[in-house]
Structure formats: structure tokens, C-alpha cells
Amino acid sequence: MAGLAVQIYNGGGVFRVVSTKPMPGTQWIRALTNVGCRVEVCTENKTILSVEDILALIGSRCDGVIGQLTEDWGETLFAALKKAGGHAYSNMAVGYNNVDVNAATRHGIAVGNTPGVLTETTAELAAALTLSAARRVVEADDFMRAGKYEGWLPSLFVGNLLKGQTVGIIGAGRIGSAYARMMIEGFKMNVIYYDLYQSTRLEKFVTAYGEFLKSQGETPVYWRRATSPEEVLKEADVVSLHPILDKTTYHLINKERLSLMKKDAVLVNASRGPVIDEAALVEHLKANPMFRVGLDVFEDEPFMKPGLGELPNAVVVPHIASASKWTREGMATLAALNVAGKLKGYPLWSNPNNIMPFLDEHSRPPAACPSIVNSKALGLLVSDGKAESKL
Ligand SMILES: NC(=O)c1ccc[n+]([C@@H]2O[C@H](COP(=O)([O-])OP(=O)(O)OC[C@H]3O[C@@H](n4cnc5c(N)ncnc54)[C@H](O)[C@@H]3O)[C@@H](O)[C@H]2O)c1
Ligand SMILES: O=C(O)[C@H](O)CO
């Protein structure tokens, strides 16, 4: 489709970079214009751009694109970007299940993502969903606004106490571990986790915190690494899902696994919708009114499976887990720096878990790409870690 509305910055720039959406803040625009990019931001009033829309934005000459997780970045778009002379694409997201990385690699295009800057923000929303579901906050809010409150009652909106219970984490990476720490420090919960890899930092933290609590005469907290998701589901009072979405995690929570969970458990998902078989979840929620969920993501976003929206034991929010001002501006900046760095031929940043040097508004960012997921396949050099080397 031709003629999508765009806003242009630094019209005379040598590299043409397109952002498929306006993004928060201005640091990201400076990150690109400072290295000689002409930036074209699509301002079309359309929530999700189609492949045809993006093809029109790429046009016949485009060096790099910043895109969104709602877009289908596959063979068609990467072939078009390559043909237009492009070398770089970055999602403004840490998750990149919307991107066919192999297709990008085949066309020699680097794929960036934005890890780290959203870890705490996303974990906080998962914690908010946990509390909302466990303590029935949304149900009680609806009740209050509907004018149904007639006075305190011993049994009004009784929910679950978290203190001393067990929190289960499936996918104990950056966000899963940050969420675990919040629940352990905040509510003195024990933790059981399942991940393909050992989370040594989380284990060490829980051990040390448990020792600290003991030294204060308080009940210590414990951790355990499970050997299967089933073990977590059977044991935990709260289960929060934080894995990537791929073939191994698609419908990881299904009818059979839901049936293993405690009848009054809380299940939280702030990872990706298809990690849960949502139709099976709706049936489970109907059959088990004490079972509660907090969902930030949905299998067929922006839609919910039939029935979910009517269930009082479900708290649902529209994929807002990373929505804090600092995080969203930081995501935009990291995405821009991935593209800028690739176009300038910079190496990959050596530690994607420490992206803070890229976010300081008052100093120039390191001369590196913060996070390129196909860097190995493309044979990109890794920075020697000298943060002094500036753009
Ligand atoms: N709702 C939101 O707005 C939002 C915000 C940020 C991230 N996310 C999602 O959260 C995901 C995790 O982000 P992160 O920064 O913590 O990534 P991460 O890579 O640090 O953590 C993901 C973890 O999942 C584990 N994992 C992979 N396959 C698994 C499997 N089959 N079973 C169990 N664990 C498995 C990995 O080993 C890793 O530890 C992202 O990929 C994204 O999809 C959602
Ligand atoms: O993967 C991500 O980054 C989120 O879903 C959006 O913040």
C-alpha cells in the first residue's frame, strides 16, 4: 500500500532508517541522526501494519528498519530489505518470535532485540498480576464500582496469602529471576523453578537471603530446581511463566498440565500468549472457580479466547508488562543503537546483560551494537568491552 504517513528527521542523512511506529522519547532519534541517518517514522493511524504496508515503507532504498513485535518479519520483508540495500533490523522488544531469524541471516541482515531494559518493569507487572489474582483486586474493584458494597463481611473477597507459600517459575532467565526475587524478598516465598539451564545467580541469592532471614530469627526461604515443568506445577501455589516462545514452549501449559496444579493456585503469564493453550485454560477456570490467572498476553492477540473475558477468576491486561516510561524509552534507544551500530560496522556489545552504558542520556553510547541475536551466524565481531570507545 503506497502513501503511508511518515515523519522525517535529518532529511539529508546518508543512511535511510525506517521505524514502523513512533516510539517514546527522543534519545532513539538522536542515536540514529548522530551517526548520519535520515529517520522516517511511520505515523499512519493503524495499530498493526501489514507486510504490504511495511514493503511500501521499505521502498527501493532502505538501510535499516526498527519494527514491532506485532509485525510478521519473515522471508518477504527480509528479501525486500536486502534488495533495498538494507543490513539491519531491530525489534523494539526482547522477544523475537515474530522474526524469522534464519531468513534474516540468509539475507545477511542483523536482527537486534532489547534485553535487560525491561527486566524489572516486566517482573513488576507479573508481580502486580500475581497480587491482583491472589487477592481478587479486580473483582473487588468491579463490585465496589457497581455499588454492591453494603459493609464489611468476614467472607467478602477472601483470597490467598502469599507469605511462606511456594512460587514456581518456568523460564528463570532475566525476567523470571527478577520476578522470583520480588516474590521472595517481598513475600518470603520459597521458590521452585524449571529452566533448561541452571540459574546459579538465583540459587545463590535465595541461599544468602535465607541465611539472612535465619540470622534475624525469621523463617528462612528455600529454592529448588525442578527437573520438569510438572514438578513445578504440582508443588507451587503461584506459577509464573517467563520462557521465550519457541517450539519447546508452545502450549507448555495445556489441559493435562493444568490438571496437575493445585485447585486454588494462581497462574501468571507475562511471556507470550501461545505458551498457554488458552481454550484449555478457559475450561479449567470455569471448572475451578478458586483457580485464578493473571494474563498480560494472549494466544490470538489482540483477541481473547471465547469466554475468558467473562470469567471473574481471570485478571486480564493488554500486553503492558514493559510499559514504564523509562523502559519504553530505553527499548527504543537500544533498538535504534542496534541498527545504528550495524550500519556503522560496530561490533557486538560483549555483555548483553549490562546495557546501562547505552542508556545514559548524558554521555555518548559505546561504539557497539547492544544485542544482535544472529551475530554468531553472521560472524559479527564482539566488542573488547572497552566502554570508553564511544560513537
Ligand atoms: N509481556 C511482555 O510485555 C514481555 C516483556 C518482556 C519480555 N517478554 C517475554 O519474556 C521472554 C523472556 O524474556 P527474558 O529477558 O527473561 O529472556 P531470557 O532469555 O533471559 O529468559 C528466558 C528463559 O527461558 C528459558 N527457556 C527456554 N526454553 C525453555 C523451556 N522449554 N522450558 C523452560 N525454560 C525455557 C531460557 O533458558 C531462559 O532462561 C521474552 O522472550 C518475551 O517473549 C514479555
Ligand atoms: O518481548 C517484549 O519485549 C515484550 O513483549 C514487549 O515489551
User: 224 in helix, strand or coil?
Assistant: strand
**Residue 388 or residue 255, greater confidence:** 255
Q: Express each pLDDT in 317-359 by its tens digit.
A: 999 999 999 999 999 999 999 999 999 999 999 987 889 999 9
**Distance separating alpha carbons of residues 46 and 25, to the nearest angstrom:** 20
**Distance separating alpha carbons of residues 389 and 280, to the nearest angstrom:** 52
Whether 231 is a known active-site residue: answer: no
Whether 272 is a known active-site residue: answer: yes
Q: Which helix (H) or strand (E) holds 193?
A: strand 190-194
Q: 16, 38, 242, 319: which is the annotated catalytic residue? A: 319
Closest listed ligand to the CA of 317: 1
Q: Peptide bond preceding 289: is omega within 30 degrees of 0, i.e. cis?
A: no
Contact 86, 65 (CB under 8 A): yes
Q: Express each pLDDT in 223-240 by its tens digit.
A: 999 999 999 999 999 999
Q: Which atom of ligand 2 is nearest to the CA of 92?
A: 3
| Binding pocket residue ranges, ligand 1, CB within 6 Å | 94-95, 115, 118-119, 122, 170-176, 194-197, 242-245, 248-249, 270-272, 296-297, 319, 321-322
Q: Whose CA is nearest to atom 1 of ligand 2?
A: 95
CB 93 near ligand 2, within 6 Å: yes
Letter string b/e over residues 332-364, b meaning 16 or more CB atoms within 10 A of that residue's CB: bbbbbbbbbbbbbebbbbeebeebebbbeeeee
Residue with cell 489474582: 133
**Distance separating alpha carbons of residues 319 and 316, to the nearest angstrom:** 9
Contact 92, 114 (CB under 8 A): yes
pLDDT given at position 384:
75
| Confidence band of 389 (pLDDT split at 50, 70, 90) | very low
Letter string b/e over residues 161-182, b meaning 16 or more CB atoms within 10 A of that residue's CB: ebeebbbbbbbbbbbbbbbbbb
Q: Which three cell numbers stand for residue 265?
A: 493456585
What is the DSSP code (8-state) at residue 261?
S
ipTM of the assembly?
A: 0.99
Q: Whose CA is nearest to atom 2 of ligand 2?
A: 93
Contact 197, 154 (CB under 8 A): no
Question: Facing residues of 167 across strands?
Answer: 191, 238
Contact 294, 266 (CB under 8 A): yes
| Separation of CA 100 and ligand 1 centre (Å) | 17
Q: Which atom of ligand 1 is nearest to the CA of 296?
A: 1
Q: Express each pLDDT in 202-211 by its tens digit.
A: 999 999 999 9
Contact 218, 188 (CB under 8 A): yes
Contact 4, 42 (CB under 8 A): yes
- When mean pLDDT is compared across 91-95, 168-172, 294-298, 362-366, the lowest value belongs to 362-366
| Confidence band of 150 (pLDDT split at 50, 70, 90) | very high
Residue 33 pLDDT exceeds 70: yes
* Helix%, strand%, coil% for the chain, nearest 5: 35, 15, 45
| Separation of CA 74 and ligand 2 centre (Å) | 18
**Distance separating alpha carbons of residues 226 and 232, to the nearest angstrom:** 6
**Distance separating alpha carbons of residues 354 and 155, to the nearest angstrom:** 48
CA dihedral 184, 187, 193, 198 (to 10 degrees): 0
| Separation of CA 5 and ligand 1 centre (Å) | 34
Whether 71 is a known active-site residue: answer: no
